[in-house]
A and B are shown apart, each in its own frame.
Chain A
Amino acid sequence: MQVQTTREDHRIAWLAALAIAIHVLEAALPSPLPGVKPGLANVITIVVLVQFGWRVAAWVSLLRVLCGSLLLGTLVSPTFFLSLGGALASLAVLALAARLPGRGLGPVGYSLLAAQSHMLGQFLIAWQLFIPHPGLWTLLPLLLTAALLFGLLSGIIAHMMLQGVTREPA
């Protein structure tokens, strides 16, 4: 059986593969606090959002969550649902942000928004499904501070990548 693929399918696959590789490499880094990690794979999501639009970014992001969890062995574990919840939350917010009038947000703004909504999404899932203890809310300020710093970092990396990608070859 031959499956017809378009150029866009190939593009999505390549970009998702790149994001998955970063996702898996990053899983090797130790984390100071559950739920906190740099999230560098989202640099790809942001670059894709700016270059190819929200639809491709959603594909790349969700494929990364699915295949990343298959490779790391966390599929349908709590980690997976936290990851998926975060990805869905940030995609929803990015869908709204991409519709801003005027010049709108740049890669740094998208990345900041995505990081905050990713953290909030996974926090609410953790709170609803796994740890419905009021003490959990004490962690929220720390988690959102980490999300702000890492979101800014990822945004700056995405910005630099986009400058490299869009520069005309000399």
Chain B
Amino acid sequence: MTRADWVLLLALLAGLPWLYVHFWNSAPGQQLAILTAEGPPRILPLYPNRELRIAGALGDSLIRIEQGRARFIASACSNKVCVQRGWIDASGETSACLPNRVSIQVLGRDARYDAVNF
């Protein structure tokens, strides 16, 4: 190995921890998008603390917003996956109640689509 090889290898090894720190400590989101089967998504700030009652396909979903985080605290579904999901606060995190067709997502960077398939 030449000297440049070693320099490159050490630089890459040194850069790796930075990558983990940078990409695994996601910035807290500032806004919450609430998507329901009917109507356009609602985008709300994550402050101040409050509770929202969202009408879904089966009944109401209760969403609590508290100190920059959000969660389902009740929903008119049978399995309560949405409630089990707990708090979400990082941009891109989602919690969804599929039976009731209500989902929430913390917004951060540009997130126009979840995925595109061809």
| Interfacial residues, chain A to chain B (CB-CB below 8 A) | 78, 100, 102-106, 108-109, 112-113, 116, 129-135, 137-138, 140-141, 144-145, 148, 152, 159
Contacts and interface: CB of A to CB of B under 8 A. Distances in A.
A144 B106 CA distance: 27
How would you classify the secondary structure of chain A's contact residues: helix, strand, loop or mixed?
helix
Contacts of B114: 131, 133
Given A132-B115, A133-B115, A141-B16, 11 more contacts: A100-B4, A103-B3, A108-B1, A109-B5, A113-B8, A129-B116, A130-B117, A132-B111, A133-B111, A140-B19, A141-B19
Interface in B2-21: 2-5, 8-9, 12-13, 16, 19-20
A130 B92 contact: no
Contact of B13 (A109, A113, A129, A148): A148
A104 B91 CA distance: 42
B110 interface: yes
20 contacts: A103-B2, A104-B2, A105-B5, A106-B1, A108-B1, A108-B9, A109-B2, A112-B12, A116-B12, A130-B117, A132-B115, A133-B111, A133-B113, A134-B26, A134-B108, A137-B23, A138-B26, A140-B23, A141-B20, A159-B1
Given A133-B113, A144-B16, A112 B8 contact: yes
Contacts of B13: 148
B112 interface: yes
Contacts, number: 76
A109 B9 contact: yes
Interface string B73-86: 00000000000000
Interface residues of B, number: 28
Give the 3 A-B CB pairs with smallest separation, nearest first: A109-B5, A134-B92, A141-B19
A135 B111 CA distance: 10
Contacts of A113: 8
Contacts of B12: 112, 116, 148
B11 to A, nearest CB: 10
B4 A103 contact: yes
Nearest to A159: B1
B115 A130 contact: yes
A134 B109 contact: yes
Contact of B5 (A106, A116, A135): A106
B43 to A, nearest CB: 16
A145 B20 CA distance: 10
A133 B92 contact: yes
A138 B24 contact: yes
